[in-house]
Amino acid sequence: MGLLEGHPGSGTKIAYDLWSSLITFSTPNWKNYINGGLFKANIDTIQCINQKEYEPSILKLNSGEMAPELLPNRMIKEILTKIPQSSISLSYPHPQGLLALRQTLCDYLQKKGIAVSPEEILITSGTLQALQLISVCIVPPRSIVYVESPSYLKSLRIFQSAGARLEGVPMDKDGIMPWMINSQTQQHTPSILYSIPTFQNPTGIVMTEERRLELLKFCQSHRLPIVEDDVFSDLWLESPPPEPLKAHDENGNVLYVGSCSKTFAPGLRVGWIIGPESVIKRLADIKMQHDYGTSSISQIVLAESMRSNLYMDYLSWLRKKLIIRRNYMLSILDQHFSHLATWEKPRGSFFIYLRLKYNVPTDKIFKQALNENILICPGYIYDFYEKPSIRLSYAYASFSQMEEALLKLSKIIAAYVDLTRPR
């Protein structure tokens, strides 16, 4: 092995040169380990957005959360001071979540037309964990996940990391068109449908009640499970939307996903999955392998806010603030974007989806806007096809920031429009 060396008359010694080279430690090739992991990295644009949005100088027209002044900080402080010490548990919670929160959610969901028991509810660490649990527990490898085109799920890599393939399904003004699903492929390949029927992300489309019933009938007849993402439905502005798909689900065909991240406080990290008890037990077992339970304090705060009606009072106040913000952004768009794009007046949520009138490079627009300290969500992170579009948020930026950022953005887009026009 070359570790020892011997010479006549001088005995046997350690071969110091070779020994020192053997004991010299080197750093593992972490690149091989990183690239070898099962979970896929976000696309470069998403990684850039995730990093840049925490810089204080950035004008955030991308954000899926509310401005700090809209969050219920005072209310949460009041709730924490009123909760009896005996009600606060610092132990590990039940695998499905605190019973008090699950019971409160039953009453909350009943108002949406969803009849459910605590045993059919799993509390998760936000909606993202709910989707991740579904991706590893419910969706077999090499299966198809049908999604609206465009779709929020396209901006994530959760299901792809589990070995599934996303397939876009077209929408019209009434929502997803289920008859466009390739039924032959669906019959021979394990499949599931992911949908945001209410204030669809990124388009803001609200699926009509007739289309919801049609979608349910199609999926039931084709034995196609549905994951219904309903995180935005409480953020209606002038009038409530139709009842969720889950409210009409009589056969346990729908897994219903909700959260308080968009409506109350993203930092609480509380979400939920509603489904058949056997499915919930399976998901709860896997969740315990992930994190051993969602924060008890967060669950207690949300349960108390819902039980005391503070949650609904806050939503009434929040809607008025969001209407003002939405209308302000619409007024700026009318002034500076009418020749560049089309859009619909959103009926809820945070977003306005711009469909650009010209075939301009939104990847370059994204980078140039970033150079101006403006952060946007280009449409290609959501869509399966090249359709120049931009998702804007009116929930985070101040009024002055909105005006400054949109004026700069309009000039950036207009410069590319001039390049596309024939001279």
Q: Are residues 217 and 348 in the same domain?
A: no
Closest CA to 258 of 155, 127, 353, 98: 127
Q: Are residues 296 and 375 in the same domain?
A: no
Domain termination residue (choose one: 308, 337, 372): 308
Q: Are residues 119 and 226 in the same domain?
A: yes
Residue numbers in the chain where pLDDT is lower than 50:
423
Domain termination residue (choose one: 288, 308, 328): 308
- The phi, psi pair for 39, rounded to 5°, reads -80, 125
Q: Are residues 240 and 332 in the same domain?
A: no
Q: Are residues 298 and 340 in the same domain?
A: no
Would 28 be classed as within a structural domain?
no
Q: Are residues 344 and 278 in the same domain?
A: no
Would 7 be classed as within a structural domain?
no
Predicted local distance difference test score (pLDDT) of residue 84: 76
Would 395 be classed as within a structural domain?
yes
Number of independent structural domains in the chain: 2
Would 378 be classed as within a structural domain?
yes
Predicted local distance difference test score (pLDDT) of residue 19: 54
Would 27 be classed as within a structural domain?
no
CATH code at 375? 3.90.1150.10
Q: Are residues 317 and 216 in the same domain?
A: no
Q: Are residues 154 and 255 in the same domain?
A: yes
Predicted local distance difference test score (pLDDT) of residue 200: 98
Give the angle 412-168-146 at the CA atoms, nearest 5°: 140
Would 59 be classed as within a structural domain?
yes
CATH code at 150? 3.40.640.10
Predicted local distance difference test score (pLDDT) of residue 86: 63
Instruction: For CA atoms 347, 349, 354, 355, give the dihedral sign.
Output: negative
Would 10 be classed as within a structural domain?
no
Q: Are residues 243 and 186 in the same domain?
A: yes
Q: Are residues 365 and 247 in the same domain?
A: no
Would 172 be classed as within a structural domain?
yes
Q: Is there a contact between 412 and 362 (Cβ–Cβ < 8 Å)? A: no
Q: Are residues 217 and 339 in the same domain?
A: no
- For residue 17, how far is the Cα from the chain centroid? 57
User: Could you tell me the residue range of the domain that residue 402 belongs to?
Assistant: 44-64+312-417
Q: Are residues 186 and 51 in the same domain?
A: no
Domain termination residue (choose one: 258, 283, 308): 308
